[in-house]
Structure formats: structure tokens, C-alpha cells
Amino acid sequence: MPVMWIENQGEIEMILTKAVIGYAGIIEHSWIEELKVPGVDIKKEWNDITNNFNLSLRKNEKARTIIMVRTKYTNMKYTHDWEKSNLVTISKNGQMYDTYKCCQCGITGKRFGLNSGIQRDKKYKSTKYENCKGPK
């Protein structure tokens, strides 16, 4: 789990995040922006900010797109952004599990039963896969 710097503003937690931003269709040219956003749905907040920017473009400005969003990490080690990849829980050899794939680097894993942790698949057990390497 990443280390997050959280600031409490009344009822809403503000989390310091970083996003890799690029021009739509030109991923090679990208930059990092840092922003405090409400800790409810960080990706949605960045999408809203980017969409609002794109709706108010001036003449000669290019639309922006979000390449990656992360909370601030110690030593900039990224955690995997797991997304469930099966529609129905799988039952095999008496075990129930769901399959997951990291949206950023593409490695795969499984979550067994009601456990909240995802175990990387055997081919990704090496310590070099503990942290996400970012988009392929």
C-alpha cells in the first residue's frame, strides 16, 4: 500500500497526487503535475479537471489526456493498479478466486476468497515485480 499524505479539510480528505499528463494523441510528450484532490475517487477528480481544461481551450492550445495518476509515494515506487479481469468468480479445485491485471504494467494476479490482497501469478513472483513499472 502506498504512503499517502492526507490532509483533513472538514469532512473531505485531500490527498497529494501526481499525474502524468500528455497532449491527446501525442503520448511521447508528457509531463508530471502535482495536485491535492479529494480522496474519494482520485482518477475521477483528475479526469474532471482535465475535461474542464479541454472544454476551455484557447486558440492554439492542445487538448490534454491523463496517462497515469498516482498518490505521492516514498521513493516514487508505484503500486499496481489492479483491475478485475473476469466477470464471474472462478471455482477451481475447491478454491474460489478472481483474476486481476495491472492497468499500468500488465502483470496478472489472483484474489482468493474474501481476502483483500492480490497475489501475483507465479511468472511474476520475482521481487522485480513488487512495484509497478508504469505503462508498457
Question: Which pLDDT does position 76 carry in this prediction?
Answer: 43
Name the helix (H) or strand (E) containing 54.
Answer: helix 42-55
CATH number given to 6-76:
3.10.20
Question: Which pLDDT does position 110 carry in this prediction?
Answer: 93
Q: Give me the DSSP letters along 72-101.
A: --GGGPBPP-EEE--SS-EEETTEEEEEEE
Nearest CA to 83 out of 114, 46, 109 is that of 109
For the whole model, what pTM was predicted? 0.45
Question: Which pLDDT does position 108 carry in this prediction?
Answer: 94
Question: Which pLDDT does position 43 carry in this prediction?
Answer: 81
| C-alpha distances in Å from residue 28, one per residue of 25, 55, 71 | 9, 23, 22
Question: Which pLDDT does position 73 carry in this prediction?
Answer: 43
Question: Which pLDDT does position 33 carry in this prediction?
Answer: 83
Question: Which pLDDT does position 109 carry in this prediction?
Answer: 93
Indicate the domain borders of the chain. 6-76, 82-129
d(CA 106, CA 98): 16
pLDDT tens per residue across all 136 residues of the chain = 333 444 444 445 667 788 888 887 776 677 888 887 776 677 888 888 889 999 999 988 888 888 888 775 434 456 788 889 999 999 988 889 999 998 878 899 999 887 778 899 999 999 888 887 766 5
d(CA 46, CA 49): 5
